[in-house]
Structure 1
């Protein structure tokens, strides 16, 4: 009986240590890490942007603190990505959607989500939006809580 009691206490103690072990990553911590490792924002270009404007926008983006890369995405590349997205979904791709309906853009990777928040919450965001050739700048969620709110908003706007 004493041996059984020792085993039960040992198992319970081990489970308790595992449950509060700071080295075991929680779901929230894992999601926060993944958000941080994929820190990026998108700069959408106007359909009539000139090559010089694109060059100037990319140069300005690359000069921002914390930017690690800028990747231009053409209409055709975005169209292929959209087609792949709809191929993976159960909803059909919108009829009549062609590459010319999509904007070109720059995907901008940054060091971490703190950099995103710093850029988004500073005058830099508005400065980027006002650059010649820029249609819009989209900063994505930077925390689990922000992502949850964004998802709730998307769900509430979805047709039922």
Structure 2
């Protein structure tokens, strides 16, 4: 069950590549499933089977703890502080997959996060060339966010100089949007439940890496995560 990724799980995610196709095209979404450190063989097999059965999910593959450690050593060779904290026994096993329909990628993520043996699930723009000029940003709030924290997040989002088409979406609206997108997508519409969704701020911004301010949003109290995604996912 989802409990939020620990520091080293986030290190794993941040080290993965992140570029995608042109914004006017649908754009693939990369999905990473972080397995519990104490996941059983049966749970692992069940999670992988469930992931492979999801609509529009392709290229599902397992990355062992040892494989993740070797990759991370290479990726973090220029970041000694992070590399020093990296221990193979702390790293989770990962399931990687591609969601070819970005409109339902968020629903796939939320459903998979509830599977037994899953620690967390994360989405990002897929590693496809050429890079888009703009991307979608989703700032999810925790269910326990206070009014003060909510106000601080809104202020920070609206202060971003390059953010466009800023909208707030409550949990009911999120569920209805995703439920409609999942119609005709096998069992996904019935697997998705209202309590899985989160309130969020959603907007688009240029993908140029120049002072976007997204990193600061991730550190705000009351923020549950900040996925970067193709515009078609918003």
- Compute the TM-score of the two structures, normalised by the length of structure 1: 0.62
Change (3 A) 1:155 1:30: same
CA-atom RMSD in angstroms: 3.2
For 2:25 and 2:68, the matched residues in 1 are separated by 23
Aligned with residue 215 of structure 2, among 141, 147, 154: 154
For 2:217 and 2:114, the matched residues in 1 are separated by 30
Q: For residue 145 of structure 1, what is the aligned residue in structure 2?
A: 136
Whether 1:103 aligns to 2:92 is yes
Q: What are the superposed Cα offsets for residues 53-72 of structure 1, whole Å, 9 maximum, x if unpaired? A: 01000110011110112110
Give 1:45 shift.
0.4
- Say which structure, 1 or 2, has more relative contact order (CA 8 Å, 6+ apart): 1
Q: For residue 16 of structure 1, what is the aligned residue in structure 2?
A: none
Q: For residue 108 of structure 2, what is the aligned residue in structure 1?
A: 119
User: Higher helix share goes to which structure?
Assistant: 1
Give 1:33 shift.
6.8
- Compute the TM-score of the two structures, normalised by the length of structure 2: 0.44
Determine helix, strand or coil for the equivalent of 2:108: helix
Aligned with residue 132 of structure 1, among 96, 110, 116: 116
Give 1:32 shift.
2.7
Q: For residue 52 of structure 2, what is the aligned residue in structure 1?
A: 62
For 1:103 and 1:79, the matched residues in 2 are separated by 10
How many residues of Structure 1 are paired with residues of Structure 2 in the alignment? 122
Q: For residue 44 of structure 1, what is the aligned residue in structure 2?
A: 34
For 2:51 and 2:24, the matched residues in 1 are separated by 24
Change (3 A) 1:77 1:102: same
Change (3 A) 1:130 1:115: closer
Give 1:80 shift.
1.4
Q: Which runs of 5+ in 2 are unaligned?
A: 1-19, 127-133, 138-203, 220-234
For 2:218 and 2:24, the matched residues in 1 are separated by 28
Q: What are the superposed Cα offsets for residues 115-143 of structure 1, whole Å, 9 maximum, x if unpaired? A: 424534xxxx1x32221111011122586
